[in-house]
Amino acid sequence: MPKVITLYVRYVDKLCLIVGRFAMYLIFVLMGILLFSSVSRALFGVSHIWVVEMAQFTMAAYYILGGGYSMLQDAHVRVDVFYGRLIPKRRAFVDTITAFCLIFYLILLIYGGISSTEYALKYGQKNYSSWGPPLAPIKIIMTSGIFLMLLQAISMFFKDVARVRGKAIDEL
């Protein structure tokens, strides 16, 4: 594979690794939010209107930012009825087809995410709830996570093309 593709794969894999490891810690933030809610309600009888939405936003950031990492670790869900019986070169060929479809889907998601984020920023969109938080921050995070998944899907596509050709791109 050309040096540019090898460098692209190396840097995207490293970026998704760093972001994914950061995203892992968001589960502790989520637990802290829910623990705070439970303690403040049990001990002080105080209920907070922001807890449920903040937990939802944290969980959304957790799984969206972890998407590229999951793809990098090959930890995503795969229907393995016929795939497991294939030889490695045929698996790589099937993976190139699915990666192409995934890239197409992620491009559509990016388009929608950018459009939705622009709307939220332009009009100051807020959630329809009693707390009414602005939606732009979570939309920015979600669009960024989808973009990272797109970069990682392209990286996976290059790795699979190399495997089909009988070569391997250095992986982390």
**Residue 4: what pLDDT?**
94
pLDDT at 155 over 50: yes
Buried/exposed 55-92: b ≥16 CB within 10 Å, e otherwise: bebbebbbebbbbbbbbbeeeeeeeeeeeeeeeeeebb
Please report which confidence band the pLDDT of residue 172 belongs to, taking 50, 70 and 90 as the band edges: very low
Task: Round the average pLDDT of the chain to a whole number and report it.
Answer: 93
Q: Please report, in angstroms and rounded to a whole number, the separation of the first and last CA atoms in the chain.
A: 17
CB 73 within 8 A of CB 13: no
| Average pLDDT of the residues in 73-101 | 87
Model confidence over 23-64: pLDDT tens digits?
999 999 999 999 999 999 999 999 899 999 999 999 999 999
Instruction: Please check whether residue 152 is in contact with residue 72, taking contact to mean a CB–CB distance below 8 angstroms.
Output: yes
Domain ranges of the chain: 3-164
> Could you give the percent of the chain with pLDDT greater than 90?
81
Report how far residue 31's alpha carbon sits from residue 58's, in angstroms, rounded to the nearest whole number. 10
